[in-house]
Amino acid sequence: MKKLINSPANVVRESLEGIALAYADCLRVCFDPSYIIRKDAPIKGKVGVISGGGSGHEPMHGGFVGFGMLDAACPGHIFTSPTPDQMVSAGKAVNGGSGILYIVKNYTGDVMNFDLSAEMLREEEKIEVATVLIDDDVAVKDSLYTAGRRGVGLTVLTEKILGAAAEKRMSLIQLKVLGDSINASGRSMGVALTSCTVPHFGKPSFELAENEIEVGIGIHGEPGCRRVPLASADEVAEMLIEPILNDLPFKIGDNIILFVNGMGGTPLIELYIIFRKVARIAEKHGIKIVRNLIGNYITSLEMAGVSITALRVDDSLVKLWDAPVNTPGIRWGI
Amino acid sequence: MKKLINSPANVVRESLEGIALAYADCLRVCFDPSYIIRKDAPIKGKVGVISGGGSGHEPMHGGFVGFGMLDAACPGHIFTSPTPDQMVSAGKAVNGGSGILYIVKNYTGDVMNFDLSAEMLREEEKIEVATVLIDDDVAVKDSLYTAGRRGVGLTVLTEKILGAAAEKRMSLIQLKVLGDSINASGRSMGVALTSCTVPHFGKPSFELAENEIEVGIGIHGEPGCRRVPLASADEVAEMLIEPILNDLPFKIGDNIILFVNGMGGTPLIELYIIFRKVARIAEKHGIKIVRNLIGNYITSLEMAGVSITALRVDDSLVKLWDAPVNTPGIRWGI
């Protein structure tokens, strides 16, 4: 295992210490239990937006804490759910009196621990909590990590849009409704060219032959829907975007935000080639890409691969997408 | 070779087509000869800032075209210098009547071709051209690709700062002086954990044993100064930052911008761990990190590794660093 780490047991803690040192101007990191929080939290009258999940997907979620996006993020160990005490502490810290919104990716551990912590915040702290569950992955139903569809790339777009809406002082119930509608309007799918190696295990999570790719891969390296021979970028783009477009389904005249995401080990130059083909396919279907995001935002350590997310948007969602945001991972308008 | 490409010969062209589709709001891509240009170029009265070099280092340079940074970038084939006709065409396209500034990394091919094109712009177009040469790599003197020191991470910081200065209508001679002083105040060094594979060759550029790293690696995978056994993140951080600090040398009381750059295949979580240690070493030396940049900005395709750049800054440089910038790769303040 070749990694720039000191010991597998300290990867998450030491990376959090690095984040704390690098971004002290806009966020704080708390330990035991660990969470990352906006420096100016709690903000009176604003819903506190919290997400979290296993580490290893950086910059998600900790890199999305800041003005216009998350109030707090709770990092678990690599590919492991955070524990309820993390969300309870984060919830208390960002509580501005208008409730807490959780954005949770649909993995069994995450759902259970966020739910437990919501109960604790409600009962012990009298804080209202609502949850938006993201389950956008069209590749597989039920998998190693979850019942139902997995939550993947749409999470990033949802955090951006709901973060902007919360910044505009949208209420908890409005945010919950908006979040559910975003989840109902977005779909994703990914492919892996290589595995990743979880530091604690020290060897690749799975084996892929030199001429094989895993279509429908999960963000923890869990199986997708099939293995096929290595294909061209154009073929891969088609394998991913067609099931996405057919699933919702997206229709002629739809406006979308298109998100081409690298899994961590894929160079940008390849993501541009994928974007090129997806844009052409979307155009052929009469679907208009009104905004895009291209880069490594929801990763699987050093896995080589790409995921695509399409989100149908109207003008009000585009306005929230364009709203100012200032986080380590996504920054514009400020 | 496992890559999301269609054919090795088309990688650069197709990625440029993807960039053109994705960022049509802020830039244009021209072909035959190819260059990327700000959508609002030429800007009357403003020096046109141009950089370029081999592709495979994305987002550098094309991803740095836009308000507050580059007016144009000229992409060569992977790890291959662009040709003079690209710079001549780009120069004519961004000429606002106040001259052209080249930012060139010190590689023999780049230097020769940028010089040739400068001659052509001067003689045939009567356009003034000045060049800032970046040679910040403390690892090796003279290498496979260049005479003298190589130009690496400092290029990114220089493009940001000179881009901001040009935006403020600094003159060509002022920009040249400022650029040379930046080059004199910044130092870099990198390490590779794995090789990268140039599509055209189809196999790794070099071999590294499973327990070996290459210290002082170049951004084309050219040899560094030594191979050592795989070390901890803290040890690697020390191997890189100590030679950097000793070379300038940086002194007690210096303010620096610290740039921790991933080579393409290194997850952010590892870059944070490196930042953590470098920040502690800098503090021990009495050096203050006043700004930082952490991420994959000057890459070597999918190489796993990291480079560190330290640039001594005063308040005026920090102000230029903070100035608004709007490019695909670096964006803030807008």
Annotation says B220 is catalytic: yes
Distance, CA of B269 to CA of A261 (rounded, Å): 17
- Residue A153, token pair as written in the block: 């790339």
Q: In angstroms, what separates the C-alpha of A169 from chain B's closest C-alpha?
A: 22
Residue B200 near chain A (CB below 8 Å)? no
Interface membership of A21 toward B (CB under 8 Å): yes
Q: Across residues B228-242, what is the average pLDDT?
A: 98
Reply yes or no on whether the pLDDT at B187 is more than 80. Answer: yes
Q: What is the mean pLDDT of residues B275-301?
A: 98
User: CB–CB of B22 and A194 under 8 A?
Assistant: no
- Min distance B67 CA to chain A CA atoms (Å): 13
pLDDT exceeds 80 at position B334: no
Which of B6, B269, B296 faces A233 most closely, judged by CB atoms?
A: B6
Beta-sheet pairing, B35-38 with B72-78 = antiparallel
- pLDDT per position as a tens digit, B110-165: 999 999 999 999 999 999 999 999 999 999 887 777 889 999 999 999 999 999 99
* φ/ψ of residue B246, rounded to 5: -75, -25
Q: What is the mean pLDDT of residues A292-312?
A: 98
Residue B290's closest CA among B319, B266, B264? B319
**Residues near A215 by beta carbon (within 8 Å), at least 6 away in sequence:** A139, A189, A191, A224, A225, A226, A227, A228, A239, A240
**Residue B292 with chain A: CB contacts under 8 Å:** 22
DSSP 8-state secondary structure symbol assigned to residue A64: G
pLDDT at B302 over 80: yes
Averaged pLDDT of chain A: 97
Overall size of chain B counted in residues: 334
pLDDT per residue as tens digits for the range A62-74: 999 999 999 999 9
Pairwise CA distance, residues B21 & A276, whole Å: 7
Q: Where along chain B do the CATH 3.40.50.10440 domains lie?
A: 20-185
Is A91 at the interface with chain B, CB within 8 A? Answer: no
CB B18 to CB A275 under 8 A?
yes
| ipTM confidence score | 0.97
For tokens 């420096």, the residue is A39
Alpha helices in chain B (DSSP H): 11-22, 84-94, 108-125, 154-167, 172-185, 233-247, 268-284, 315-322
How much is the pLDDT for A317? 98
pLDDT (tens digit per residue) in A114-169? 999 999 999 999 999 999 999 999 998 877 778 899 999 999 999 999 999 999 99
Token duo for residue A299:
């990763």
Q: Identify whether A59 is preceded by a cis peptide bond (ω within 30 of 0).
A: yes
> Please, are residues B297 and A296 in contact by the beta-carbon 8 Å criterion?
no
Selected catalytic residue, list A61, A77, A200, A220: A220
B196, A265 Cβ separation under 8 angstroms? no
Residues of B with Cβ-Cβ distance to A231 under 8 angstroms: none
Span B42-72, pLDDT tens digits: 999 999 999 999 999 999 999 999 999 999 9
**Is B61 annotated as catalytic?**
no
At B289, give phi and psi (nearest 5°): -85, 105
Are residues A278 and A258 in contact, defined by beta-carbon separation less than 8 angstroms?
yes
Q: Which residue has the tokens 């327990």?
A: B211
Take residue A9 and report the two structure tokens written for it.
Answer: 């047991």
Confidence of residue A334 (pLDDT cuts 50, 70, 90): confident
Please name the residues in contact with A41: beta carbons below 8 A apart, sequence gap of 6 or more. Answer: A48, A71, A72, A93, A94, A96
What b-and-e string marks burial along B168-186, b requiring 16 or more CB atoms within 10 Å of the CB? Answer: eebebeebbebbeebbebb
Q: How far is A233 from chain B (nearest CA, A)?
A: 5
Residues of chain B with CATH 3.30.1180.20: 186-312
Query: Are β-strands B27-30 and B35-38 bridged in parallel, bridged antiparallel, or unpaired?
Result: antiparallel
Instruction: List beta partners, residue B262.
Output: B306
Mean pLDDT, residues A166-173 taken together: 98
**Mean per-residue pLDDT, B158-174:** 98
What DSSP character marks residue A47? P
A210–B18 C-beta distance less than 8 A? no
CATH topology of domain A20-185: Rossmann fold (3.40.50)
Are A118 and A129 contacting, i.e. CB atoms less than 8 angstroms apart?
Answer: yes
Tell me which amino acid residue A42 is: P
Mean pLDDT of chain B: 97
Using the Cβ of A327 and the Cβ atoms of chain B, whether some distance falls under 8 Å is answered with no
Inter-chain residue contact A6 with B273, CB threshold 8 Å: yes
Q: Is B266 on the interface with A (CB under 8 A)?
A: yes
- Looking at residue A143, what is its pLDDT? 76
Reply yes or no: is the peptide bond before residue B42 cis, omega within 30 of 0. Answer: yes
A59 contacts chain B (CB < 8 A): yes
Burial category of A126 from C-beta neighbours within 10 Å (exposed 0-12, middle 13-18, buried 19 and up): exposed
Distance from CA of B12 to the nearest CA of A (A): 8
The domain made up of B186-312 has a fold known as Hypothetical Protein Tm841; Chain: A;domain 3 (3.30.1180)
Q: Is the pLDDT of residue A90 over 90?
A: yes
In this prediction, residue B36 carries a pLDDT of 98
Is residue B202 pLDDT above 80, yes or no?
A: yes
State yes or no: cis peptide before B61, omega within 30 of 0: yes
CB B283 within 8 A of CB B256: no
How many cross-chain Cβ pairs, A to B, lie less than 8 Å apart?
170
pLDDT given at position A45: 98
Residue A246 confidence (pLDDT) above 90: yes
CB nearest A302 (choices: B2, B266, B332): B266
